[in-house]
Structure 1
Amino acid sequence: MTTATETGCFETRAIHVGYDRQTNADAVSVPIYASAAFDLENARRGDALAGGSLPGFEYSRVANPTVDALERRLASLEGGVGAVALSSGMAAVSYALMCVAEGGGRIVAPVNLYGASVDALGDFLPKFGIYGDFVSDINDLASVEAVIGPDTKAIFTESVANPSTAVADIEGLADLAHKHGIPLIVDNTVPTPYLLRPIEFGADIVVHSTTKGITGHGNALGGVVVDAGRFDWNNGRFPQFTREELVISDQRAGEWHSFHSRFGNQAFIKRIRIKYLRTFGAVQSPFNAYMQLIGLETLTVREKQEVASATAIAKHLTTLSHVTSVNYAALEDSPTYDLALKYLPNGIGTILSFTVEGDGSNVERILDATKVFSYVPNIGDSRSLIVNPTKVTHREVPAGYYDAAGVSDNLIRLSIGLENVDDLIADLDQAIAGAY
């Protein structure tokens, strides 16, 4: 039965969806189920649970009640048919890319991805037969289409790039991907589902590092893969979804299934859980899932405040003499300002970046002089953070990609938290002035 909380507004669903108090001793908060395994009760029920014909919990490497509540809530907030929570954002990215290109293939992606994602597609996944075809501008649809070939398995992009904040044309990319029979995968970490829901614009798979804005306090690692449930995996390009698999079949009864025949529009997310999570084991801990559920309850109010502060700080930085450029797509002179208006009318997120005069020594003096900002390689925290990307978060990005990725040794990235915006501006002012 669908309840009012499951069909209500975003803020209501962020607090209520995916959890039934009456089946959990009327606990108001989702309990932490710190159990590795669950009682199968009897032989017949155990057989049904193990075979997947009966819903329930058997072993926490595959599913856990606390994690299940988080998955249901995130699937609802993103508008998907299902989700799998994982132990980190990079597990979510890696599993999604490997699942779509399983057996070998190519993935089109921009060079301005998060550094670890660039390293995965450019150096690590090729060792498994999965290659990245990088383009300098993901919104140049002609250039993207030019590299799509018969072995291309997906287009992968970030909705809002880190640290340039460039906004991807999700609708245009989705139409292009579907024209060629491939899915669009979107990393939606920076804006969170409160500010943007890529599935509404045609994306097929959404991934997050839930460590960031979703958790919101820098105290729990996590990731998630969300499936829109609309892509046709039975179009000839993806044999991993149409071949028969023992793990989802009943060989004793002579009943054989593929992921497509067994699960239909949930084939992708079921394969993520049954093959990737179950085999590679990047399991979300119940405690971390609980922390992310708590974070979701305050997501909307946090994002509103942090976006307002980030916008004020971005505008202020444009007035400082030693600042040579400011990257924040909500500014009217941003190259992707029109896309920001279309996709993110309530704000683009809590990160921004800027370049300064001088050299790396000036950057280091600014970093070392801040008192309110913390020098931390994270984003989406309730604390405001500052970092120099080429030395920390983007060390894996080849120098030849720097210009297109929007990074340089003179670039500083900020993640704006919940401190008073006047204190944050004063802290930047004194640190920048002192560096010169």
Structure 2
Amino acid sequence: MEAIVKQEELKVPIFHNRNFVLLLISALFSSPGYFVYLIGAEWLMLSITDNRFYFGMLFFVAAIPRLIFLSIGGLIADRMNKRTILFWSDLSRAVLISILVLLIWTDSVAVWHLLVLAGLFGVSDAFSYPAMNALVPTLLEEKQLQRGNSLIQMTSQISPILGPALGGTLIALLGFKGVFSVSLVMLLIASFAVLFIRMKKEEDVQGNKPTPWTELKEGLSYVRKNELVISIVVMALFINFFFSGPFSIGMPIIVKDIFGGNAVSLATIQTSMGVGALAGAILLAAIKLKKPGITLVVSIIGLGLLYIATGISANIVLTAGLVALMSILTQLINIPLITMLQQTTEKRMLGRMMSLFMTVSTGLIPISYIVTSSLIAIGVSIQTIIIISGIIVTLIAIYNLRNKKILGYKFSQGREIG
């Protein structure tokens, strides 16, 4: 009888999986809610100070606590109910935004308020990321993972479409009070939606587990034995350094200072990013990659070339188109990468693996923010920074065309249930 039940479970289509659908619904509100907040915070910072170094600090102070707490977030994701972690993550963000709304209502918001809130958002991210990526494989079968990850990405990537479009419109119509109030409501909905996920009994029972320090050492040892992960981490480490800082800081500055745009112009760029990311996620939800490693490396080459073109773009429309194409390629990089890690990792190690991967691969991002902000502060054009960074990203990817560990990887075979 047990065997029959297990066989039936394997045949449950993704969209008949109640728990997975609830996770999608939560992501549908959580990610756009975060992006509505983000465009509001970015434009608010650009509006209350002309010092662009502080704008770069907005990203830096979010990245540092995220980096510091990611390993702890992975340990907690392996020891605690992942659903509960996601609930508290979204709820804490809603509370932080409510504080910002109060500051705006009292006309007392200052640069340091935005920096402190960015840091606290970084802490929240450190716990939600490993919990989300460790939860997906517990809700789906292994052969459903590429499609499941694509659907999660598809849902969350609606956020750079809906979030900036809604955020830019709300700033124009209702001001900063309106944009942050909507973000607050969306995150509250997301936090309560995830509570209806029914976890398996073993997910809720803690039992006798080793100490966190022992588990952390076990996770580090596990990573060292996985040559594929090491190869991916090293490549991601340097690509993130040259891409994340210049892109995150550069796009809003290019829109405001070079193109002379407004909040709606910034929303256009960020919406195009979401459109491209959604298209990439839909593509990967519809097809199964036969050679994900090759797709990964070739997509990074394309990303570098488009990045160079973005640096020499002359107007918002062309930049938006280039950003959309880069976002498609980003999905062709991220989804295979996450799926490769999930398929090669034991489920009991998923939280630690995801957090350790993120900690190491994004370790240089805070430095990237500092370097980018400092170069801008001494007069180096953000467009020059982006062009040089794009050249380096392309060269890193070309070098990895020799990496057999990545190029030779194949996903688990079999028809995905769907």
The structure whose residues are more often helix, as a share, is 2
TM over 0.5: no
TM-score by length of 2: 0.27
TM-score by length of 1: 0.26
Larger RCO, structure (CA 8 Å, separation 6 or more) = 2
